[in-house]
Structure 1
Amino acid sequence: MHNKASIILGTNKKSVKTKNSEYVFHISSSDTGGEISLYEAIFNKIGKNKNLHYHKVLTETFTVLEGEFYFNLDKEKLILKKNDSIVIPPLIIHGFRAKVPNSKLLIGFTDSPNRDDFFIGLSQIVNGELILNKAEINQFYNKYDQYQINE
């Protein structure tokens, strides 16, 4: 961790977009040496895929800022609403999708040194700018401590 405060002005924040979502980089993993990072995820449409996965190292936190989300947590199915939060430690299978249009999440990570590149790569895959076969997609996710569960 740095011994100096970091000020990140809104005008200097990076973001990436897909046709259905936008990710705003509030606190970059590079600003904290990977100790913590914070992203806002905005979903324009209702989600169809819950993207079940787990992490071996990082802890992931979610807070619903607007709208509602379906969350899968191991075998449990939840609906999280505005101001609800969830903390997911390593090795817990989870996934989520927007329940209503224009839903927003604040997503935090600990022990994740390069989450910015994950969201950049994810947007390139979703936008068709980066074409990967199934094995390459799994390698992409695994590189960022995200292990997909096939439904």
Structure 2
Amino acid sequence: MEFQKATIIRAADKDGVKMPRSEYVFHLSSYPAQQNLGFYEGYYPNTALEYNTHYHKKMTEIFTVLEGTFSFMLNGAATVFHRGDTAIIPPMSPHGFKPLEQGSRLQFIFTGAGNREDFFKSLESIAHGKLQLNPSEREAFFNSHDQYFF
């Protein structure tokens, strides 16, 4: 029998991005998980974020509220989530969320996600104006990362 070695990821070695209205820490990158799983944390210092309702064709997302309160748009209706509440969003399920309290935190788990780190890093560049995309390039960017807007 051959034993496997555990992977250790120190806090100082974790990557992430910072945008004007949110910050994300990549606790578990999709890279060591064969691009099948990602475990992130989002921090929202204010309530300016909007729903940005979207869907994924391949990816399942699991959200758990760590701190604060969020409104999730699920199944065509807004639902308030408090600390400890979880939403499991299968592929082809329109969804979006927004923080209702300053300093709210949300845990994200992605399955079947592919490379979400590059998505968030590119999104950071777009948010800070470092990457300029025309409307068709912007749509192609989101579609290439399995994210489709209405």
| Smaller-chain TM-score bracket | over 0.9
Kindly state the Cα deviation for residue 89 of structure 1 after the two structures are TM-superposed.
0.3
Map 1:1-151; keep pairs closer than 5 Å.
4-149=5-150
Structure 1 unmatched runs, 5+: none
Aligned-partner SS, 1:11: helix
Kindly state the Cα deviation for residue 48 of structure 1 after the two structures are TM-superposed.
4.2
Deviations 1:24-78 (A, max 9, x none): 0000011101111011000111034210100000100100011111100131210
AA partner of residue 17 (structure 1)? K
After TM superposition, the score normalised by the length of structure 2 is 0.94
The number of aligned residues is 147
CA distance in 2, matches of 1:126, 1:117: 14
CA distance in 2, matches of 1:4, 1:61: 27
CA distance in 1, matches of 2:44, 2:130: 20
CA distance in 2, matches of 1:33, 1:66: 30
CA distance in 2, matches of 1:76, 1:42: 23
Q: What root-mean-square deviation, in Å, do the aligned CA atoms of Structure 1 and Structure 2 show?
A: 1.1
CA distance in 2, matches of 1:19, 1:47: 10
Structure 2 unmatched runs, 5+: none
Kindly state the Cα deviation for residue 4 of structure 1 after the two structures are TM-superposed.
4.1
Report runs of 4+ in structure 1 exceeding 3 Å deviation: none
| Bigger shift: residues 104-113 or 4-13 | 4-13
CA distance in 2, matches of 1:71, 1:56: 19
After TM superposition, the score normalised by the length of structure 1 is 0.93
